[in-house]
């Protein structure tokens, strides 16, 4: 398998990574969140180099596609959150230059569990201007350090109309990529290998975007969300157990 030869992974590892990205992308295309939550913990177990650089690049086609598909439902307040995201990105990129893979893995696991607990307990954060700014900053930090930028914004918009949640998060993440990717390059986190790994994942992103529109999007959103929460919590616990033992 040519992709495996290029990135130094086995054919089974490449196949597993692509399947994980397809599932995560399809879920995100349907309910607005899923790729980072599902893929970050599991991909980091396959190869830590996937996180955060490779997935930060690979997610761009997904967020662009979702934003274009439902642009009329984007909450305009989301663009103010981009200011907060920039601050979070700067802090996150600085931290990456001083932290090892183990610390990043712990941040990933903790971020996922906090997002799951918040969603499961029904915490309600209204998307006010202040809350959106705070969530934007937190998202910039976790997205840069752990490739999981969705939870803070998702918790803020979780009780909004599903179309508003999907499109607003997609627009926010699309804009955020313009901050995150250059910051990771400057910090030395994204190099040739991370770019190669991202290219391996991109086909899975496109398949997931397509499948999410015609398949999972027809299922009740609450059932899909329950599956995501269970899968993400399991992945986070496995990752934290691996790093803390």
104-123, pLDDT tens digit by residue?
777 777 877 887 787 777 66
Q: 15 or 157: which carries more pLDDT confidence?
A: 15
- Highest-confidence range of 5-14, 70-79, 151-160, by mean pLDDT? 70-79
For the cut 90, the answer to whether the pLDDT of residue 199 exceeds it is: yes
Tell me, what's the pLDDT at 201? 95
Please name which of 117, 104, 171 lies closest in space to residue 144, comparing C-alpha atoms.
104
DSSP-derived letter for residue 98 is T
Please name which of 30, 119, 132 lies closest in space to residue 75, comparing C-alpha atoms.
132
Q: How many C-beta neighbours within 10 Å does residue 122 have?
A: 8
Tell me, what's the pLDDT at 113? 83
Query: Environment class of residue 49 by beta-carbon count within 10 Å: exposed (0-12), middle (13-18) or buried (19+)?
Result: buried
Place of tokens 């790729």: 35
Measured CA to CA, the distance from residue 180 to residue 82 in angstroms comes to: 11
Query: Environment class of residue 71 by beta-carbon count within 10 Å: exposed (0-12), middle (13-18) or buried (19+)?
Result: exposed
Query: Which region among 2-11, 149-158, 195-204 has the lowest average model confidence (pLDDT)?
Result: 2-11
Tell me, what's the pLDDT at 1? 52
User: In which band, very low, low, confident or very high, does the pLDDT at 100 lie, cut at 50, 70 and 90?
Assistant: low
Give the mean model confidence (pLDDT) for residues 88-94: 83
Place of tokens 């663009």: 79
For the cut 90, the answer to whether the pLDDT of residue 60 exceeds it is: yes
- H helix and E strand count, the chain: 12, 0
User: In which band, very low, low, confident or very high, does the pLDDT at 2 lie, cut at 50, 70 and 90?
Assistant: low
Measured CA to CA, the distance from residue 173 to residue 198 in angstroms comes to: 17
């Amino acid at each position: 398998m040519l992709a495996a030869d290029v990135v130094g992974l086995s054919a089974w590892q490449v196949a597993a990574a692509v399947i994980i990205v397809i599932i995560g992308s399809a879920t995100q295309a349907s309910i607005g969140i899923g790729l980072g939550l599902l893929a970050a913990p599991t991909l980091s177990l396959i190869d830590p180099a996937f996180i955060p650089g490779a997935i930060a690049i690979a997610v761009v086609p997904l967020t662009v596609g979702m934003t274009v598909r439902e642009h009329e439902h984007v909450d305009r307040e989301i663009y103010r959150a981009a200011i907060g995201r920039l601050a979070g990105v700067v802090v996150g990129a600085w931290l990456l230059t001083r932290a090892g893979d183990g610390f990043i893995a712990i941040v990933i696991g903790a971020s996922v569990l906090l997002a799951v607990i918040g969603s499961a307990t029904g915490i309600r954060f209204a998307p006010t201007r202040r809350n959106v700014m705070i969530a934007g900053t937190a998202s910039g930090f976790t997205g840069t350090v752990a490739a999981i930028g969705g939870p803070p914004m998702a918790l803020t918009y979780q009780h909004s109309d599903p179309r508003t949640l999907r499109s607003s998060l997609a627009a926010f993440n699309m804009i955020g990529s313009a901050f995150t990717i250059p910051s990771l390059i400057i910090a030395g986190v994204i190099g040739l290998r991370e770019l190669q790994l991202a290219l391996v994942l991109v086909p899975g992103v496109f398949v997931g975007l397509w499948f999410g529109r015609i398949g999972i999007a027809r299922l009740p959103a609450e059932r899909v969300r329950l599956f995501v929460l269970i899968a993400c919590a399991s992945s986070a616990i496995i990752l934290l157990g691996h790093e803390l033992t």
